[in-house]
């Protein structure tokens, strides 16, 4: 049987069972689309966070609290404090440190009018917006005077402004954190996400006000340090570790807080993103296995229904290879068609935000899905094809 005749015969077998074939194709379609989309979500999340980190500039350093460290005598947890941040900002022992930004983050319910939602509220100082490259699109940031007097003013993300105030100008509007009212001073320009928290839906207030109303006094979530330029970032990181450890009364080598430069942070993000994409793809692959089982099922049913046809063809001289090739071809066509439609569906779905990010469809994920589609057709269609080719002509012709 020529390849053209083989394909024509395979399509004829599929048309004879359109309903079952369509359902099987749907299973493969969903599986392929799921794999591509979930890998795209992992890649998209990594891209968003990477862009946000890169947006901070090449000369920023992040200091975060340490993890519990079990010593011989006690379990110690070193907490970053405002005092440590102030010590670094004022220290003559840190000439390569240009700016120090203390940050405290808490999640609370925020409301405006009848609308409310949980929001990540960041308490920080006015230099945060310059150091992190976070300009406002409308209004202004809060000032040193606002920080000194602990005023109830806020800068909010553009999406939070859109969700709460719709077509109303948010500047001067009131936004409530619990029972504490804040006046909106500015709206940030659109940005990507960082560490799972997106500035687009966040709220930023003076650190002094956050300490009075929302968070434990003096404790920080992190400190952002900006070096004088990109060439002094390693020196600034060493100075930051030394000064902060000294302010805590511990040896720098024994301190548990983490001092991370941009390059180190980007490497960590890439590793996490790769692991996330792999895990999501593995979860989605379950759908492909289900689709493959569907292919096996329909081909087994098809072999049973066409037993007499197989017997006639073998009686007329058809070889086992020809019989087997026909059923493998049918399974492969179903799998490839479902795979192609799955790729198309994935591209359409990638235009919509999923899990807070836009999926990034990569050539690797598409190639993987296409390869898996072929494997499904050959592997899961193989057993029914072999079973069909091993039927004896006499037994097949007697089958009702």
Q: Are 69 and 257 in contact (CB under 8 A)?
A: no
What per-residue string of b and e applies to 233-272 under the rule 16 or more CB within 10 Å gives b?
beebbebbbbbbbbbbeeeeeebbbebbbbeebeeebeee
For the residues of 85-104, what is the DSSP string, one character each?
A: HHHHHH-TT-TTEEEEEEEE
**332 vs 261, 298, 373, CA distance in Å?**
50, 12, 8
- Predicted pLDDT at 70: 46
- Predicted pLDDT at 194: 45
C-alpha torsion sign, points 267, 268, 273, 274? positive
**100 vs 113, 129, 198, 313, CA distance in Å?**
36, 12, 21, 82
Q: Are 182 and 121 in contact (CB under 8 A)?
A: no
Q: Round to whole Å and give the CA distance between 346 and 45.
A: 17
Q: Is 70 helix (H, G, I), strand (E, B) or coil?
A: strand
In the block, which residue shows the tokens 């895990």? Answer: 279
In the 8-state DSSP scheme, what is residue 255?
A: -
Supply the angle between the helices 320-349 and 363-389 in degrees, to the nearest 10: 150
Q: Are 6 and 329 in contact (CB under 8 A)?
A: yes
All residue ranges of the chain with pLDDT < 50 are 70, 72-76, 193-197
Non-local CB neighbours of 308 within 8 Å, separated by 6+ positions: 396, 397, 399
Q: Are 122 and 202 in contact (CB under 8 A)?
A: yes
Question: Where does 140-243 show beta strands of DSSP type E?
Answer: 153-156, 174-177, 180-188, 193-194, 197-198, 203-206, 222-227
CA angle at 62 for the pair 59 and 68, rounded to the nearest 5°: 155
- Predicted pLDDT at 371: 79
pLDDT digits (tens, 9 = 90+) for 339-359: 888 888 888 888 877 766 777
- Predicted pLDDT at 120: 92
Q: What is the pTM of this model?
A: 0.58
For the residues of 27-49, what is the DSSP string, one character each?
A: HHHHHHHHHHHHHHHHHHHHHHH
- How far apart, in Å, do the first and last CA atoms of the chain sit? 26
Helix (H) or strand (E) holding 84: helix 82-90
């Amino acid at each position: 049987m020529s390849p053209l005749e083989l394909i024509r015969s395979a399509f004829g077998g599929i048309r004879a069972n359109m309903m079952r074939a369509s359902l099987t194709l749907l299973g493969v379609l969903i599986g392929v689309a799921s794999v591509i989309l979930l890998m795209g979500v992992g890649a998209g999340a990594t891209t968003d966070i990477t862009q946000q980190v890169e947006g901070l500039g090449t000369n920023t350093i992040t200091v975060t609290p340490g993890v519990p460290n079990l010593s011989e005598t006690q379990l110690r947890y070193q907490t970053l404090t405002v005092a440590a941040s102030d010590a670094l900002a004022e220290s003559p022992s840190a000439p390569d440190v240009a700016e120090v930004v203390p940050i405290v983050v808490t999640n609370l319910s925020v409301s405006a009018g009848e609308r409310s939602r949980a929001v990540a509220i960041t308490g920080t100082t006015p230099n945060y917006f310059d150091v992190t490259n976070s300009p406002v699109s409308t209004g202004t940031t809060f000032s040193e005077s606002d920080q000194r007097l602990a005023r109830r003013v806020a800068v909010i993300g553009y999406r939070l402004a859109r969700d709460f105030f719709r077509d109303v100008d948010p500047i001067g509007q009131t936004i409530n954190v619990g029972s504490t009212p804040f006046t909106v001073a500015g709206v940030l320009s659109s940005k990507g996400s960082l560490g799972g928290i997106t500035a687009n839906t966040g709220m930023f207030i003076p650190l002094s006000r956050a300490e009075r109303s929302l968070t434990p006094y003096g404790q920080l979530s992190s400190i952002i340090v900006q070096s004088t330029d990109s060439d002094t970032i390693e020196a600034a990181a060493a100075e930051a570790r030394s000064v902060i450890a000294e302010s805590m009364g511990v040896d720098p080598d024994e301190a548990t807080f983490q001092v991370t430069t941009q390059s180190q942070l980007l490497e960590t993000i890439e590793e996490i993103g790769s692991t996330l994409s792999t895990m999501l793809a593995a979860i989605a692959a379950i759908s492909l296995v289900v689709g493959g089982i569907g292919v096996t099922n329909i081909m087994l049913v098809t072999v049973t229904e066409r037993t007499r046809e197989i017997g006639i063809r073998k009686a007329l001289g058809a070889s086992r290879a020809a019989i087997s090739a026909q059923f493998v071809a049918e399974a492969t066509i179903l799998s490839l068609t479902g795979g192609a439609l799955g790729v198309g569906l994935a591209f359409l779905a990638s235009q919509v935000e999923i899990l807070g990010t836009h999926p990034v469809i990569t050539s690797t994920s598409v190639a993987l899905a296409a390869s898996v589609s072929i494997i499904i057709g050959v592997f899961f269609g193989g057993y029914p094809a072999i079973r069909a080719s091993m039927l004896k002509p006499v037994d097949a012709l007697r089958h009702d």
